[in-house]
């Protein structure tokens, strides 16, 4: 007869548990605070966060059996992180590139949001690992925020919420006109509820289909027609209809 200790061990190994747990042994997370020794208390919780969410996000984006894009993740705390577009640089809370996330340690203490939510957004970029494709920036950021807000923060609703509060830059009239026409192009928290609404109302498998196409480099806006039965811009109009007449200026 098997000793009780071993019986319990076998039982634990055989218990189903959440599907992302099975992937925990298939990758390693390295958290580097060598440049910011005061970030030491973040090492354990950030490692645990990534070990849970990296496989979990993979299932959300690509389905249950999709392989993880990288065997190792590197989370590097930096005294400061900037995102540059040519000579113009702006400070960023975090930044993902391939299998590495840089975290702006100087910024963490000033963040109003839960820093973990930002890491989940950046982690989603690692999972995405899409082929470069022009005109898809709004989807890249919209999908990362969809993961962050629907699954981690759990504050996403399938409707547009930030009509007046969202700062798009430029004049408000200008912003409202852009929002009315093709607002999804703003990405982030404008595209995220749109994608959620499409999943709920039009096509359950849309998100996975979009992610597979973006990964393969075969994405085209026609995918929306194929899965949701109408062109992207028509779907956007339907999405904003409930609020278009009441809150948006002409
Ligand atoms: Zn992003």
Residues 220-240: tens digit of each pLDDT: 999 999 999 999 999 999 998
Q: Which helix (H) or strand (E) holds 219?
A: none
Domain range summary for the chain, segments of one domain joined by +: 18-129, 169-250
Residues 95 and 118: their CA atoms lie apart, in Å, by 10
Distance 8 CA to ligand 1 centre (A): 43
Distance 121 CA to ligand 1 centre (A): 6
Distance 188 CA to ligand 1 centre (A): 8
pLDDT band at 169 (very low <50, low <70, confident <90, very high): very low
Percent of the chain past pLDDT 90, that is, above it, reads: 73
Structure tokens at 68: 């993880």
Taking only the tens place, the pLDDT of each residue in 76-112 is 999 999 988 899 999 999 999 999 999 999 999 888 8
Say if residues 122 and 75 touch (Cβ distance below 8 Å).
no
Say if residues 203 and 227 touch (Cβ distance below 8 Å).
yes
CATH tag, 18-129? 3.30.2010
Distance 89 CA to ligand 1 centre (A): 16
Distance 137 CA to ligand 1 centre (A): 9
Q: Which helix (H) or strand (E) holds 178?
A: helix 172-182
Distance 115 CA to ligand 1 centre (A): 14
Its pTM stands at 0.86
Distance 185 CA to ligand 1 centre (A): 14
Distance 183 CA to ligand 1 centre (A): 17
Q: Which residue has the higher pLDDT, 11 or 59?
A: 59
The closest of 158, 147, 105, 106 to 125, measured between CA atoms, is 147
pLDDT band at 38 (very low <50, low <70, confident <90, very high): very high
């Amino acid at each position: 007869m098997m000793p009780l200790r071993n019986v319990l061990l076998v039982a634990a190994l055989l218990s189903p548990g959440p599907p992302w747990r099975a992937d925990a042994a298939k990758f390693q997370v390295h958290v580097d605070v060598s440049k910011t020794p005061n970030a030491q208390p973040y090492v354990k919780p950030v490692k645990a966060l990534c070990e849970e969410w990296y496989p979990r996000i993979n299932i959300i984006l690509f389905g249950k059996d999709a392989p993880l894009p990288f065997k190792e993740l590197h989370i590097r705390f930096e005294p400061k992180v900037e995102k540059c577009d040519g000579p113009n640089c702006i400070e960023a809370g975090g930044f993902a590139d391939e299998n590495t996330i840089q975290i702006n340690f100087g910024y963490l203490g000033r963040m109003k949001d839960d820093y973990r939510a930002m890491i989940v957004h950046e982690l989603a970029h690692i999972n995405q690992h899409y082929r470069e494709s022009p005109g898809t920036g709004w989807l890249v950021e919209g999908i990362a925020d969809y993961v962050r807000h629907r699954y981690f923060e759990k504050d996403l609703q399938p409707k547009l919420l930030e009509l007046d509060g969202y700062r798009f830059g430029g004049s408000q009239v200008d912003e409202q006109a852009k929002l009315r026409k093709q607002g999804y192009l703003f990405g982030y928290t404008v595209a995220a509820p749109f994608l959620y609404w499409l999943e709920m109302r039009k096509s359950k498998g849309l998100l996975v289909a979009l992610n597979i196409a973006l990964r393969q480099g075969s994405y085209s806006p026609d995918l929306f027609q194929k899965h949701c039965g109408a062109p992207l811009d028509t779907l956007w109009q339907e999405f904003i209809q409930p609020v278009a007449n009441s809150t948006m200026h002409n």
